[in-house]
């Protein structure tokens, strides 16, 4: 029996789905969404907040502020409510309505930006707003998920070791990338592991994490319009880019098997499935990290008109073999 007194004390660490019957490729999916924040971001949020408390940067008079496309904002909202802090999440128009409502239900303030005409697009606008806010009032404490080393340390200390315990013979690990905190923490952990583990990053088409010109992205979570400061490509063996249409198709295919996952998870599974189909992995142990669940995407990915208007009827195909479409890029 598990008994807790604060919501961030609980996180299901050892749940995996064997996806081979669903996608036709040998892949174990580590499900990270079973906590009160609903995503893997709870780990980074807890680590960053508690580090700021230990250093004295965060006090009872502080107001937490962070730029987030959604999941980290929910995690910080939950932690702030539990610890008695005020929290302002600066997000943009791509943030799902359900996610914004969750943050507000937890007592947080949400500021939504929609003007991406300046340098850096929507992310640049969010960062500029937070910079200006912190300059105007020293009560604001910006955790800075894009540069905060505690972002990746959370996964070095928890996610990587948990996967190693469950799969001591792991050969390949697929990790979705945004701030690259999860990627860098797991990659650093497995760099020192007893056996070689191939690290494959999964990104969205339109993201500039691994270079190139940023393009349109409609699904929040993975991808960035810049190269994240936390990224060290020396730890990454390969990167796979996935079209958002394939993300939607994958999510909907998994849902038809009873697994309702979020957009970030759909992207990771799509990229991993494509990589395994191209390279083959007979006899290998492959694990992918599922960052989120699907309830927050009911009005987007799982809403027929939204999906059809953006991506056409092809995302509704019944053939589960279409799950893995993506664009591969060697690293």
What topology does CATH give the domain 41-142? Rossmann fold (3.40.50)
User: Same topology for domains 7-34+152-330 and 41-142, yes or no?
Assistant: yes
Whole-angstrom Cα distance, residue 193 to residue 170? 10
CB count in 10 Å sphere of residue 176: 31
Q: In terms of Cα–Cα distance, which of 177, 172, 331, 171 is closest to 239? A: 331
C-alpha 299, offset from chain centre:
19
User: Is the pLDDT reported for residue 324 higher than 60?
Assistant: no
Instruction: Pick 7-34+152-330's CATH classification: 3.40.50.450, 3.40.50.1820, 3.30.300.30, 3.40.50.1100.
Output: 3.40.50.1100
| pLDDT at 239 (0 to 100) | 97
- Look at residue 282 in the predicted model and tell me its pLDDT: 81
**In the Cβ-directed half-sphere of 291, how many Cα atoms lie within 13 Å?**
31
Query: What sections of 196-262 are H helices per DSSP?
Result: 244-255
pLDDT for residue 119:
60
pLDDT of residue 320: 37
Lowest average pLDDT, out of 91-95, 135-139, 194-198, goes to 91-95
In a 13 Å sphere around the CA of 282, the CA atoms on its Cβ side amount to 0
What pLDDT is attached to residue 266?
Answer: 97
Confidence of residue 117 (pLDDT cuts 50, 70, 90): low
Neighbours of 253 (CB within 10 A): 26
Kindly state the average pLDDT of the residues 38-52.
97
* pTM for the structure as a whole: 0.92
Tell me the average pLDDT of the chain.
Answer: 92
Segment 136-161 shows an average pLDDT of 96
Provide the β-strand partners of residue 238: 200, 330
Domain residue spans of the chain: 7-34+152-330, 41-142
33 close to 293: Cβ distance less than 8 angstroms: yes
Torsion-angle region of 140 (φ positive above 0: left; ψ -120 to 50: alpha; else: beta): beta
Separation CA 165–CA 147 (nearest Å):
29
Residue-wise pLDDT tens digits, 46-92: 999 999 999 999 999 999 999 998 899 999 999 999 999 999 999 98
């Amino acid at each position: 029996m598990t008994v807790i007194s604060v919501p961030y004390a609980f996180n299901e660490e050892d749940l995996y789905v064997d996806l081979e019957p669903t996608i036709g490729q040998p892949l174990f999916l580590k499900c990270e969404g079973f906590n009160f924040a609903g995503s893997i971001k709870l780990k980074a949020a807890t680590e960053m907040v508690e580090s700021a408390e230990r250093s004295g940067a965060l006090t009872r008079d502080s107001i937490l502020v962070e730029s987030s496309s959604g999941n980290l904002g929910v995690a910080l909202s939950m932690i702030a409510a539990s610890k008695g802090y005020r929290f302002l999440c600066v997000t943009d128009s791509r943030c799902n309505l359900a996610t914004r409502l969750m943050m507000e239900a937890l007592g947080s303030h949400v500021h939504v930006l929609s003007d991406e005409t300046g340098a850096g697009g929507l992310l640049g606008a969010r960062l500029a707003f937070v910079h200006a806010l912190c300059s105007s009032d020293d009560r604001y404490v910006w955790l800075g998920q894009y540069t905060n080393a505690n972002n990746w340390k959370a996964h070095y200390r928890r996610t990587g070791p948990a996967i190693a315990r469950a799969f001591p013979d792991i050969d390949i690990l697929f990790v979705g990338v945004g701030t690259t905190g999860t990627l860098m923490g797991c990659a650093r952990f497995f760099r020192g592991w007893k056996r070689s583990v191939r690290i494959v990053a999964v990104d969205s088409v339109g993201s500039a994490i691994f270079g190139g010109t940023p393009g349109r992205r409609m699904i929040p979570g993975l991808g960035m319009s810049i190269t994240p400061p936390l990224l060290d490509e020396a730890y990454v063996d390969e990167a796979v880019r996935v079209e958002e249409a394939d993300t939607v198709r994958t999510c909907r295919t998994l849902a038809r098997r009873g697994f309702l996952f979020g957009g970030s998870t759909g992207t990771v599974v799509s990229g991993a499935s494509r990589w395994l189909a191209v390279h083959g992995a007979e006899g290998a142990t492959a694990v992918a990290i599922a960052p989120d669940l699907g309830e927050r995407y009911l009005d987007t990915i799982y809403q027929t008109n939204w999906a059809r208007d953006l991506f056409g009827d092809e995302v509704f195909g019944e053939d589960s073999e279409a799950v893995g479409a993506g664009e591969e890029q060697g690293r």
